[in-house]
Amino acid sequence: MNLRRRAVALASVSLATPEDSGIRIHRGVREKRWIELRITWYHLFTVLNDKMVNFGKKLMADQVEEWKGYYINYKLMKKMLKQYVQQTQLGGKDREQVLKEFSRILDEQIERIVLFLLQQQGHLANRIEELGEQRAALLEQHDISQVFQLREAYREVGRDLIKLLRFVDMNATGIRKILKKFDKRFGYRFTDYYVTTRANHPYSQLQQVFKQVGIVAVVGALSRNLAYLQDHEGSVLSIYDHPSVTLKDPIIDQVNHAVQKLTHATSFLQFLGQHALIIQEDVQSGSEDLVDDQSYHFMSLILNLVNTFLYMVNTYIIVPTADDYAVSLGAAATVCGVIIGSMAVAQVFSSVYFSAWSNRSYFRPLVFSSIMLFAGNLLYALAYDLNSLTVLLIGRLLCGLGSARAVNRRYISDCVPLKIRLQASAGFVSASALGMACGPALAGLLQTRFKIYSLTFDQSTLPGWVMCIAWLVYLLWLWISFKEPGHFAKSSDTAQPAESGHQVNANLEEGLAQPLLTGSEEGQDQNAEDNDDNEEESKNSHGPATSISSAYKLLTPSVKVQLLIYFMLKYAMEILLSESSVITTYYFNWSTSAVAIFLAILGCTVLPVNAIVGSYITNLFEDRQILVASEIMVLIGIIMSFRYTPHYSVPQYVLSALITFVFAEVLEGVNLSLLSRVMSSRLARGTYNGGLLSTEAGTLARVVADATITAAGYLGPDLLLNITLLPPLVICIASLVATFCTYNTLY
């Protein structure tokens, strides 16, 4: 039942008398319930009307009156689309003719927008120049009252600049939406064609809309001049000499916010948040209304981040000693690939059921995860005394079955308020990176050996014992402190009869979480033409994917290429990390402590690299440019890793490993950032979401990589390095070719 029908049903209940519904209760209680239901009914229709405000109406409502003739004619473009659909169905026009005509119309729309934009930029620049002359004369006089007036004049320019930024934002959104509508109506990748032919052209006007260099220059001039007037005496502070100094001015804050919203500027936190592939849905989507400051529970978020951290520690704490453990149990050193990879094998399956489980609860999956990881680490530690490789592998499989990363991602996406979701997403990535670094470092500290009764504690078994205790402590903390989100608790209450408005509220929240479908009430027909989210589109395109096959059908060529890149970089990183102990022992005779330090140093590069890329590099280059450059550098790192001569040196290995690992980390962040943009919004929620798909791609890469190490080990340690590097080399070249083929769609 859609939301409108829920509203009608609730209205009929609220307008019915208690006698009609067979309820005989005290008159005072009845009147109280009557008032509660009417209030709830009113709020529901208020929310419903807010949801029904589509982009066409929003564009009309938010237009600057004197600029009306310069906005994209969204209504006209939609009418043209409708006419083209009818004409092609009747055979009046072929698709190529429609393509050219619609491209010409859209070109004209964009040209009008851009020419007006340049004109307004010129007006603002002239006003700033005139104010600059006044400022130069004023600073010599030190007249405080005139300084105040001049500052207000600059702020007035800032207010007009905000209007212009909103103008560009509305038009850019309209262009994106109309391109998407064309693709949907015709089943043709018009966006690919249009962007390919317009974006990189030397006379591109599309770039003027989406890359606002002129506007940013005006923002810089305005900020610089206001900085000179920072205090009443006329400070000579320069924003260029002191970039770390933040100008405290409300107008500049609003301007910067508008610029960031418009250009999607990628700060460090945004970069980390997209690195986690916690896809942000539209701010106006119903799911946002379910999360508020009252229902948000900070300790539950911390427990999810701690779960992420401990799981990454659990994954990498055994890497420096896995080969020694395999040898002590009578297996070859290269069986470490199977030991490390068995956890990833189980994670392929656990990601799916944890993702489905998180539709109903977060607490129970986390409890189950902790129990599985406790049991798995216990078996891993006992395998030495039992002298059983089978027990060791079962322990690692149980650890993989306890992977709750899908739950951690989903909790942040669904249960954290929008205003702090970016920080929470960054915390997720930071916890993962910290765990990746702490795992090997902790293994390096466990270089001891002793026995308690018949149990052996050494460098091979201590990682299992330490993690066993860690998960037990975590389980107790989880049991005491975790709070199940309100929408789960309320949904369970709806199964019981309610004597008050609580059941109605729970049903309301449940309804708001569903896609909004248009109804057929009177008075809506006249607005049908302007409705962006009509009934047909809602049914077909608003629901989440319900199976792997339906999710796969939503993958465009761009998305498939990004998943291939993700597979490649995870493959290359797993080869580097998992065989590091075997390679360094064979060629350089490194100790376990040396391997642990080396891996810890690699892990410690994650956050600094992301900070540099997120704060600086992404502001200088497009994401797709960084993507290609990172792929090339990963390819160079892989090529440098090969052993070309009988003598394989430490500098060659360390340098090639650093290049491969660092640029794979850069590539991962940019790759997931692009993936979150080009992926269908239907993959932003549900069991088979974008996070699950990327997790599965990365996990499969790790499984294949670890299997490759074990298989190559049968050819001897001398050939291990070169044999294991061949697959990532081939996949990296293939991903580069695929990237160039889809380069113009990554816009």
Over the stretch 682-704, which tens digit does the pLDDT of each residue have? 676 666 777 778 888 888 999 99
User: What is the dihedral sign for C-alpha 687, 690, 691, 692?
Assistant: positive
C-alpha to C-alpha distance for 739 and 508, rounded to whole angstroms: 45
The residue ranges of the chain whose pLDDT is under 70 are: 1-55, 139-143, 187-189, 192-193, 196-197, 199-214, 216, 229-249, 252, 256-295, 419, 422, 487-543, 545, 619, 681-682, 684-687, 747
Nearest CA to 99 among 199, 205, 185, 9?
A: 185
- Cα–Cα distance, 718 to 694 (Å, whole number): 34
Tell me if 14 sits within 8 A of 38, measured CB to CB: yes
H-only helix segments in 358-404 = 363-386, 389-401
Contacts of 402 (CB under 8 A, 6+ apart): 311, 350, 368, 369, 370, 371, 372, 373, 376
Q: What pLDDT, on the 0 to 100 scale, is given for residue 223?
A: 75
The predicted structure's pLDDT at residue 330: 92
Q: Taken in order 259, 261, 263, 264, is the CA torsion positive or negative? A: positive
Question: Tell me, what DSSP letter sits at residue 614?
Answer: I
Residue type, 57: K
Contact residues for 506 (Cβ-Cβ < 8 A; gap 6+): 490, 491, 493, 494
Q: What is the pLDDT of residue 22?
A: 42
The pLDDT value given to residue 386: 94
Domains of the chain in sequence order: 29-60 (no CATH), 67-233+248-279 (1.20.1050), 298-483+549-742 (1.20.1250.20)
DSSP-derived 3-state class of residue 485: coil
Residue-wise pLDDT for 255-286, tens only, equals 766 666 655 533 454 555 555 555 544 434 33
State the Rg of the chain over Cα. Answer: 30
Stated length of the chain? 747
Q: What is the model's pLDDT at position 211?
A: 58
Count CB-CB contacts under 10 A for residue 684.
Answer: 20
Q: What is the pLDDT of residue 569?
A: 92
In this structure, what token pair is assigned to residue 203?
A: 């006379």
What is the spatial distance between Cα 129 and Cα 225, in angstroms, rounded to a whole number? 10
